[in-house]
Amino acid sequence: MGHGHHHDHTQPDWAAMAPMLERQAEIAAPVHLQAATWLRELRPHPRLIVDAGSGPGVVTCLLAQVFPDAEVVAVDSAAPLLELAAERAARAGLADRVRTLHTELPAGLERLAPVDIVWAGRSLHHIGDQQAALAAFAEHLAPGGVLALQEGGLPTRWLPRDIGFGRPGLQSRLDAAEENWFAEMRAALPGSENVTEDWPALLAAAGLRHGGTRSFLLDLPAPLTHDARSHAMDVFTRIREALAEQLPADDLSALDRLLDPADPGGLRLRPDAFALGARTVHLGVRPGAEPPVA
C-alpha cells in the first residue's frame, strides 16, 4: 500500500491495470498539485519537463497545467499507458504541449536532453540500479535543472485498527507483508542493487545539490467518495492477489469480507473507510545557472 501499484515479477498487463492506475493518480491529484506548486517556486519557467514513468498521464497533464509555458513529455515503457496519456492530454486541450516517448528508463532520456525538470513519481524503485538511474537523470538535466524524486512517505491507511471482524491491526500486517513483497520485487529486477534509501545522499552522489524535501498529505476523511472507494477496492484486490501465500487464513478471510460488495463491513459500504497517507518529494538541482527566460 506504500509502493505504488502491485504486479507480479513478470511483465504486467498494463492495459488491464490502466483504470486502477488512473484512479490512483486522480485521487492523489491534490497531493501532486501541492508538490508541483512547490517545484514551481524553485524552477518557475521550465521549457521542457519529463514525466519519467508517466503511466496514463494524469500527473503529466497536471504538470502541463501548473507550467503553462512548458512542453511536457510523458516517458514510459508501457505503450498502452502512453496511449491513454495522449488521449487525456487531447481531452484537456494540451495536445500542443504534451507528447509521449515510448522507451525504457533511463536509457531513452538522451533523446530529450537538456531537460529543465525531471519528475520521477514512484518510478525509480522499478529500476534495478537506482543510483545509476539517478546519475543518468542528473546527466540529462540542463544547468540549474531539477530532479523531483517522489519516493518514501507513509503507506496509505484505509481502515481503523479494529474493523469489527478478524484480528485488530490488519493493515499493519498487510504493510509488513507488502514490505516483504517489495523486497522480492526489487531483488528480481535486472541489475538490482541494494542501496541505503537516503534519497538526499543518493542525489548528492549523482552530482546534484539537495534542493529540499517535503511531504504532502493525502487526507480523504470518511465517508469516501465512490471513486475513492473504487480505488480502495482496487488496492485490496491487488493485495489479495499478490500476498495470498504470505497471509494467514484469518487475514485472508477478513480481506474477502472487505472485498464483498454486499457485505456491510466491506469497503464498498462501510461508513468509516478513509484514506490517509503521505507522499515525500526530494529535489535535486544540477549545478549551474538557470538559463535566461526567452
Please write the tens of the pLDDT for every residue from 3-36.
544 444 446 788 888 999 999 999 999 999 999 9
Q: What is the pTM of this model?
A: 0.92
CB 69 within 8 A of CB 97: no
Write the CB contacts of 199 (distance below 8 Å, at least 6 apart in sequence): 149, 151, 152, 213, 282
Q: Measuring CA to CA, which residue among 186, 189, 156, 188 is closest to residue 174?
A: 156
Q: What is the pLDDT of residue 16?
A: 87
Angle at 113 between CA 135 and CA 285, to 5 degrees: 50
CB 101 within 8 A of CB 112: yes
CB 105 within 8 A of CB 75: yes
Q: What is the pLDDT of residue 110?
A: 86
Q: What is the pLDDT of residue 11?
A: 62
Q: What is the pLDDT of residue 271?
A: 97
3-state class (DSSP) for residue 57 = coil
Q: Measuring CA to CA, which residue among 22, 285, 16 is closest to residue 145?
A: 285
Q: Where are the alpha helices (DSSP H) in 8-105?
A: 14-27, 29-42, 58-66, 79-91
Cα gap 163→121, rounded to integer Å: 31
Q: Measuring CA to CA, which residue among 277, 262, 266, 265 is closest to residue 236?
A: 266
Write the CB contacts of 196 (distance below 8 Å, at least 6 apart in sequence): none
Q: Measuring CA to CA, which residue among 63, 31, 32 is closest to residue 48?
A: 63
Please write the tens of the pLDDT for every residue from 210-228.
999 999 999 999 999 999 9
Q: Measuring CA to CA, which residue among 58, 38, 196, 23 is closest to residue 117?
A: 38
Q: What is the pLDDT of residue 41?
A: 94
Cα gap 171→157, rounded to integer Å: 7
Residue 162 φ/ψ, nearest 5 degrees: -110, 115
Q: What is the pLDDT of residue 259?
A: 98
What residue ranges do the domains of the chain occupy? 14-285
Beta strand spans in the chain (E): 48-52, 71-76, 98-102, 115-121, 141-150, 154-157, 209-220, 275-285
- Determine the angle formed by the axes of helices 58-66 and 79-91, rounding to 10 degrees: 40
Cα gap 152→35, rounded to integer Å: 14
Residue 139 neighbours by CB distance under 10 Å: 15
Please write the tens of the pLDDT for every residue from 119-146.
999 999 999 999 999 999 999 999 999 9
Given a cut of 70, the residues of the chain with pLDDT beneath it are 1-11, 289-294
CATH 3.40.30.10 is the classification of domain 14-285: no
- Determine the angle formed by the axes of helices 58-66 and 29-42, rounding to 10 degrees: 40
